[in-house]
A and B are shown apart, each in its own frame.
Chain A
């Protein structure tokens, strides 16, 4: 295994271990997602026709809102005892640090999303098991888009006074293209439409976004963290 990958996995393992011991980000984001889902039931009339039309959008909004809590903690966790400085002084290159953090965030976000999906299915009577394979592919590719942009901006905002506010202000507008694609695809899949030539364009948008922003993130994390 290459050194870069080993370093990234070490960082990811460290983050996941820290989260497993405290469960602070995961618990907070799960509770928050539950609250949003309950509030949606009051904001919208959750009848079957409406859910067929809006389910993808609602689901990704929950992922986006609850995900911000996980992403905010990613680098903020390292502020105590100057851990970020120690990480930067270690032989791990910033790019491996970024990929490691992104992998840990990805695992946390996917866990959060799977729980939300189950909650969503029960609370709003949405049958998502019919197209579960393609749905997992869309969630996997869409979540990486959120993870990669969110992790970089988490690093970028870590030292700011208004960190908690600045992260969503910067990340949410950036997430419009992948979220639009993910929402359309998820709505299609939950309504029973399979992936095909009609919606393949949106998979390409998601994959393209993932590739471009992963490349940008790896290239610029050094500038963001070190200067």
Chain B
């Protein structure tokens, strides 16, 4: 049943992405000042949304683990954080490419991109910590605390860097932030791409969960063989 849901979500993601790519690359006109490169926004911002939401969701799963001590929630938290880290990396790389084209440098220490880099480092530390602990219960307990601290800290980072005198990131463009300054034809594909990346995130988390459960099975078989 789970495999069937995964397959269905993968097909839905692939179809939606193909349709989005057709609309974004062929359907939309170039932007007056930025030319074609503005289309990177359709992946850059959704990746940040999915990544940051994923860190928050990972924290919730970590909290549930601490409350229930059920390792399933720890695995779910780790998988979600790992996938979110990948989306954060997509955000960083696409932002850097856009910066190179628009500002002439790969990295301008722009406030938003820097805050994402700091979040990336915090959660990369979370994954490194998991690798450094062998005992599953200790690993789950300690990494849950790091996830909690990391997410609270990510909020601080997000706000504080906004106040730092180095904000050169383009301002918000979506209508729910600006009150409808963007053309609907430009905005609609953005939301479809958010949905596509969300589907991808769910599929990847499901794959990671399956890998983890297989790893646990292999470990228990190994222990049985050595007993």
Residues of A within 8 A of B (CB): 149, 152, 156-157, 159-162, 166, 169-170, 172-174, 176-177, 180-181, 184, 201, 205, 208-209, 212-213, 216, 220, 223-224, 227
A227 touches B141 (CB 8 A): yes
Could you list 15 A-B pairs, sorted by A, with CB under 8 Å? A157-B129, A162-B132, A166-B125, A166-B129, A170-B129, A173-B153, A174-B150, A174-B153, A176-B157, A176-B160, A177-B157, A180-B164, A205-B156, A220-B145, A227-B138
- Tell me if A's interface is mostly helix, strand, loop or mixed: helix
Chain B residues with Cβ below 8 Å from A174 are 122, 149-150, 153
Pick from A180, A181, A212, A224: contact of B152, CB under 8 Å: A212
B125 touches A169 (CB 8 A): yes
- Give the complex CA separation of A214 and B146 in angstroms: 15
Chain A residue contacts of B153, Cβ below 8 A: 173-174, 176-177
Q: Smallest Cβ distance from A92 to chain B, in angstroms?
A: 20
Binding site for A on B (CB under 8 A): 66, 118, 121-122, 125, 128-129, 132-133, 137-138, 141-142, 144-146, 148-150, 152-153, 156-157, 160-161, 163-164
CB neighbours of A181 from chain B (8 A): 160
Given known contacts A160-B133, A205-B160, A223 and B66 CB-to-CB distance under 8 angstroms: yes
Set A209, A213, A224: member contacting B145, Cβ < 8 A: A224
CB of A170 within 8 A of CB of B157, answer no
- Please, which residues of chain A bring their CB within 8 A of the CB of B160? 176-177, 180-181, 205
4 other contacts beyond A173-B118, A180-B161, A205-B156, with CB at 8 A cut-off? Answer: A166-B132, A176-B153, A181-B160, A216-B149
Taking a contact as CB atoms under 8 Å apart, the answer to whether A173 and B122 are in contact is yes
Q: Chain B residues near A209 (CB, 8 Å)?
A: 156
B138: A residues at CB distance < 8 A? 159, 227
Neighbouring A residues of B66 by C-beta, 8 Å = 223
Report A75 CB to chain B, min CB distance, Å.
Answer: 13
> For residue A157, which residues in chain B have a CB less than 8 angstroms away from its CB?
129
Determine the distance from Cα of A156 to Cα of B150 in the docked complex, in whole angstroms.
14
Write out the residue numbers on chain A whose beta carbons fall within 8 Å of the beta carbon of B121: 172-173
In the complex, which of the residues B125, B142, B163 contacts A201, with contact meaning CB atoms closer than 8 Å?
B163
Interface hub of B141, B156, B161 (most chain A Cβ within 10 A): B156
With both beta carbons as reference points, the residue of chain B lying nearest to A159 in the complex is identified as B138
For A162, what are the chain B residues with a Cβ–Cβ distance below 8 Å?
132
What are the residues of chain A within 8 A of B150 when measuring CB–CB?
174
Instruction: Give Cα distance in the complex from A161 to B130, angstroms.
Output: 12
